[in-house]
Chains A and B, each alone.
Chain A
Amino acid sequence: MPRLNSYRELEHLRERLREQRQDIATTVMICGGTGCQASRSLAVIDAVRKELSSQGLDKSVRLCATGCHGFCEQGPVMIIEPGNLFYCHVSPEDAFEIVSQTVVKGETIERLLYTDPVSGERFNTESEIPFYQAQDRQLLSQNLMVDPCSIEDYIAVGGYSALTKVLRGIAPEEIIKEIKSSGLRGRGGGGFPTARKWNECREAPGDEKYVVCNADEGDPGAYMDRCVLEGNPHLVLEGMMIGAWAVGARKGYVYVRNEYPLAVKHSRIAVQQARELGLFGDNILGSSFSFDVDIARGGGAFVCGESTALMASLEGKVGEPRPKDVHTVIDGLYHKPTVLNNVETWANVPAIILKGSSWFAAKGTPGSKGTKILALTGRIKNTGLVEVAMGTPIRTVLFDIGGGAVNGKAIKAVQIGGPSGGCLPVEKFDLAVDYDVLSEAGSMVGSGGMVVMDEESCMVDVAKYFLAFLQDESCGKCVPCRIGVDRMLEIVTDITEGRGRPEQIALLEELAETISQTALCGLGKTAPNPVLTTLRYFRPEYEAHIKEKKCHAGVCKSLITYSINPDKCTGCGICLRGCSHGAITGSKKQAHIIDALLCQKCGICRSECQFDAIQVV
């Protein structure tokens, strides 16, 4: 494709692409995101493509492998236009039926439609499904419309028009003012006002400045940045270009972790395409603005998501944080003023410029504006990505969108914001997803990961899991994080293994305060949060572990014993065959017995038993 030299050429290209697309009546959009790829969506895409060409439809039907649709639980998912038919759990074997019935005749295949697990109702389109109804999908809905490897798709749906608008006559100060009145705050965790960051960087002395996109998403259970970057990389790049124009940067970096191969691949293709079109390079679209982006891959250290560690890693040094007495907006990458924003923050920028700050500010609460993508994982029915307006209560997210706990259990807590966030109990579910509200409750919006726990989760064990994660991922530079978190883990392990002493709770609290006050970087400072919030909301569980030496959730192996209830056991022998340690004995149709000495408490018998006869005390 020829290089675009002016705004008009971009508009011409857009019109031409739109005309081309108007002729195509039917579009099949299949999710090619990492989640659906894991459930064989690539094979589905191949099968549908083969089927289309064997029926001679490959010219008149557009097949589009899009980014993540969000409903990963139901993957692979597919949408067929016209009619917006939504099919889920599609397999390659369905390809023939889909093409010959739905694409050719326009008939609906009932068995592929989404069935509500509660009411048993079938829904034809996405917008009717309860999971999507309560959402406000500003960023995720754009994933459906474009093939992430095609800049033409992105331009056809209006891509890079925010950039044109900016370059044609919005002064950098005006952009910052617009972002400021939109109230956009950093989506990566801290919630720092984006406009303030940009303004400080703009006013910092020096000609050479950088913009960096932080796509080093390491929180367990969070994958919204991956989804946006691999599903719509041009949106992020356009946001970065606008940011670069606003702060006066000529060079940008996308720091993406190597564990996201699809995001790396798609963002590289996107940068290449943008360069070929002349959207990156010198004198973009004939203006005075020059900008280019490089993709840098991270080696998978959690700590490299911290701003100074990320910049050290970008410079080729060891990814370790340094003291931030001078902020990175003044002394950042290569000691130059640098704006570092999260993927989601950058992705929000083009829409704010196009639709205006008042459109963005109309959503959300006084302190937190716009929408936020949340990753619902754990013991919940509808796992996947959820985008809601700020201020939506947690209850709505968990029950209306998430559908409640699996297997009819009761939800006990939700961990919001990854390892740096905190566990909130059921009583706090009326709180809104809002930076200030959640941090007051001891948690934080963070990156937006929501790990749901039900009554079979032990909160002390959850705290232990997060501590083990943080201890493993600590860079080890400063004493409070390296030794302090290790000591907290030691104490919590003692508690879960029955060696806990009552005075250790006070010690945990004192240690947590020391770490949060004195650690070097933000990750260290927030490392005690999982323990602090579980202690605040679930203290009786800690006390039960210490005083009664009991784990009521039946998780901590040292504190539980398995036994068989003779009244319920029918002697079917399933548990006997399933036990890999030979701990269960009994003859047919007689109640079986577990030998406590041989039992390894793996829980296989409990999950195999059809009669609920295995007790854990």
Chain B
Amino acid sequence: MLQRVNVNIDGAIIRATRGASVLNTAVEYGICIPHLCHVSNLSDIGACRLCIVEHVVNGRSNITTSCTLNVEEGMVIMSNTEKVRKLRRNLAELLVAQAPNSRAIQDIAVRCGVKEVRYPFRNDNCVLCGRCVRVCSEVWKAKAIGFVGRGNARHVDHPFGVRPDFCKQCGSCVQLCPMTITPCDGPMKPGEERLCGNCESQLMISEKTPGSCTWCKLGESFACGRYA
């Protein structure tokens, strides 16, 4: 039988499954916590840091990622405080400045309340969320792609840069990649470096994250735990 524990997320007392992560529990109960690197049924590495929450222990609150934090009896979590929203907005701003052409990342940035980007845009095609690497090694046990390099030089590649035979080109990596959800066309041209806000991301009307799940389109296309 599944063991249950009581946790308090944003004031709601939730009977959660022991061993589940805070993020999964919250999403399952309809509390929206933005996330990027988390995919249901894959291990969580806490790379994107978007799912940060305040975890209150003995009256002191720690900022931690909800995907790597497991529920425990009597836990108090706050996912939508002013502090968390501000930090999350800054993180999303860093992400969208790095890969401004991904509509998925634009949407996440809008969800997190980014209205202006204060950094020069870079036209990177990868934000190293590691979804592709994990689906390849954990679901298909293939390990045909992995992280190579450190710091700025970190990138996803085949072993030694050559596609191995055990890569069956199944396409799971492509399917989970946030860059492949209908990206904007092409890199930003010099002089036109801005987020237009005209696509579904609706940058102009950006507001804070809704506290409750709205079964949004973003979640559906983005493999949010609610749709899994």
CB closest chain-A residue, reference B69: A325
Please give the residue numbers on chain B whose beta carbons come within 8 Å of chain A beta carbons, in ascending order. Answer: 45-50, 52, 63-65, 68-70, 87, 90-91, 94-95, 97-98, 118-120, 127-128, 147, 149-154
Asked if A518 is at the interface of the complex by the 8 Å CB criterion, the answer is yes
Stretch at the interface among A8-16, A189-197, A509-517: A509-517
CB closest chain-A residue, reference B98: A483
Q: Are B45 and A514 interface neighbours, CB within 8 A?
A: no
Q: Are A514 and B90 interface neighbours, CB within 8 A?
A: yes
Tell me which residues across on chain B come within 8 A of A316, comparing CB atoms: none
Interface pairs (24), CB distance under 8 Å: A323-B46, A325-B69, A473-B150, A473-B151, A474-B152, A476-B147, A476-B149, A476-B150, A477-B154, A478-B48, A479-B49, A479-B91, A479-B95, A479-B127, A480-B49, A480-B91, A482-B152, A487-B94, A487-B119, A490-B119, A513-B87, A518-B63, A518-B87, A518-B91
| Contact pattern, A 452-492, Cβ under 8 Å of B = 1, otherwise 0 | 00000000000000000001111111111011101100100
Complex Cα distance, B64 from A519, in Å, reads 9
Asked if A322 is at the interface of the complex by the 8 Å CB criterion, the answer is yes
Distance in Å from the Cβ of A398 to the closest Cβ of chain B? 33
Q: Are B45 and A477 interface neighbours, CB within 8 A?
A: yes
Q: Are B151 and A474 interface neighbours, CB within 8 A?
A: yes
Q: Are A322 and B151 interface neighbours, CB within 8 A?
A: no
Q: Are B95 and A476 interface neighbours, CB within 8 A?
A: no
Q: Are A518 and B68 interface neighbours, CB within 8 A?
A: no
Tell me which residues across on chain A come within 8 A of B68, comparing CB atoms: 323, 325
Tell me which residues across on chain A come within 8 A of B69, comparing CB atoms: 323, 325
Known contacts A323-B68, A478-B49; A517 and B63 CB within 8 A of each other = yes
Complex Cα distance, B101 from A22, in Å, reads 78
Complex Cα distance, B83 from A518, in Å, reads 11
Tell me which residues across on chain A come within 8 A of B120, comparing CB atoms: 490
Q: Are B45 and A471 interface neighbours, CB within 8 A?
A: no
Complex Cα distance, B152 from A486, in Å, reads 8
Most chain B CB inside 10 Å of its own CB: which residue of A301, A323, A483: A483
Distance in Å from the Cβ of A481 to the closest Cβ of chain B? 9
Q: Are A476 and B87 interface neighbours, CB within 8 A?
A: no
Q: Are B95 and A520 interface neighbours, CB within 8 A?
A: no
Asked if A38 is at the interface of the complex by the 8 Å CB criterion, the answer is no
Q: Are A325 and B70 interface neighbours, CB within 8 A?
A: yes
Asked if A507 is at the interface of the complex by the 8 Å CB criterion, the answer is yes
Known contacts A477-B45, A511-B90; A483 and B150 CB within 8 A of each other = no
Complex Cα distance, B69 from A474, in Å, reads 23
Q: Are B94 and A483 interface neighbours, CB within 8 A?
A: yes
Q: Are B151 and A483 interface neighbours, CB within 8 A?
A: no
Complex Cα distance, B177 from A80, in Å, reads 69
Q: Mark out the residues of chain A between 17 and 34 whose CB falls within 8 Å of any chain B CB in the assembled complex.
A: none
Please give the residue numbers on chain A whose beta carbons come within 8 Å of chain B beta carbons, in ascending order. Answer: 301, 303, 318, 322-323, 325, 471-480, 482-484, 486-487, 490, 507, 510-511, 513-514, 517-520
Complex Cα distance, B98 from A490, in Å, reads 13
Q: Are B149 and A518 interface neighbours, CB within 8 A?
A: no
Complex Cα distance, B22 from A441, in Å, reads 35
Tell me which residues across on chain B come within 8 A of A490, comparing CB atoms: 119-120
What's the A-B contact tally at a CB cutoff of 8 Å? 88
CB closest chain-A residue, reference B129: A479
Distance in Å from the Cβ of B68 to the closest Cβ of chain A? 4
Known: A479-B48, A519-B49. 13 other contacts (CB 8 A): A322-B46, A323-B46, A471-B152, A476-B128, A477-B154, A478-B47, A479-B50, A483-B95, A487-B94, A487-B119, A490-B120, A510-B90, A514-B87
Report the 4 A-B pairs with minimum CB-CB distance, sorted nearest first: A476-B154, A323-B68, A514-B90, A474-B151
Tell me which residues across on chain B come within 8 A of A318, comparing CB atoms: 147
Known contacts A518-B49, A520-B46; A480 and B119 CB within 8 A of each other = no
CB closest chain-B residue, reference A525: B63
Tell me which residues across on chain A come within 8 A of B45, comparing CB atoms: 322, 477
Tell me which residues across on chain B come within 8 A of A475, comparing CB atoms: 150-151, 154
Tell me which residues across on chain A come within 8 A of B47, comparing CB atoms: 477-479, 520
CB closest chain-A residue, reference B89: A514
Q: Are A507 and B118 interface neighbours, CB within 8 A?
A: yes
Most chain B CB inside 10 Å of its own CB: which residue of A325, A480, A490: A325
Tell me which residues across on chain A come within 8 A of B52, comparing CB atoms: 517-518
Complex Cα distance, B50 from A478, in Å, reads 10
Complex Cα distance, B150 from A513, in Å, reads 23
CB closest chain-A residue, reference B55: A325
Say which residue of A472, A511, A520 sits within 8 Å of B49 (CB atoms).
A520
Distance in Å from the Cβ of B33 to the closest Cβ of chain A? 14
Q: Are A482 and B46 interface neighbours, CB within 8 A?
A: no
CB closest chain-B residue, reference A480: B49
Most chain A CB inside 10 Å of its own CB: which residue of B46, B49, B95, B152: B49
Complex Cα distance, B68 from A480, in Å, reads 16
Q: Are A471 and B94 interface neighbours, CB within 8 A?
A: no
Distance in Å from the Cβ of A319 to the closest Cβ of chain B? 9
Complex Cα distance, B49 from A511, in Å, reads 14
Distance in Å from the Cβ of A298 to the closest Cβ of chain B? 13
Tell me which residues across on chain B come within 8 A of A482, comparing CB atoms: 128, 151-152, 154
CB closest chain-A residue, reference B147: A318
Q: Are A476 and B127 interface neighbours, CB within 8 A?
A: no
Tell me which residues across on chain B come within 8 A of A303, comparing CB atoms: 150
Say which residue of A325, A471, A519 sits within 8 Å of B151 (CB atoms).
A471
Tell me which residues across on chain A come within 8 A of B64, comparing CB atoms: 323, 325
Complex Cα distance, B65 from A487, in Å, reads 22
Distance in Å from the Cβ of B196 to the closest Cβ of chain A? 22
CB closest chain-A residue, reference B128: A476
Q: Are A480 and B147 interface neighbours, CB within 8 A?
A: no
Complex Cα distance, B91 from A513, in Å, reads 11
Q: Are A476 and B152 interface neighbours, CB within 8 A?
A: yes
Complex Cα distance, B149 from A303, in Å, reads 13
Most chain B CB inside 10 Å of its own CB: which residue of A323, A473, A479, A513: A479
Distance in Å from the Cβ of B120 to the closest Cβ of chain A? 8
Tell me which residues across on chain A come within 8 A of B119, comparing CB atoms: 487, 490
Q: Are A517 and B151 interface neighbours, CB within 8 A?
A: no
Complex Cα distance, B154 from A471, in Å, reads 12
CB closest chain-B residue, reference A506: B118
CB closest chain-A residue, reference B92: A479
Tell me which residues across on chain B come within 8 A of A487, comparing CB atoms: 94, 97, 119
Complex Cα distance, B65 from A322, in Å, reads 12
Tell me which residues across on chain A come within 8 A of B65, comparing CB atoms: 323, 520
Tell me which residues across on chain A come within 8 A of B49, comparing CB atoms: 478-480, 518-520
Distance in Å from the Cβ of B21 to the closest Cβ of chain A? 10
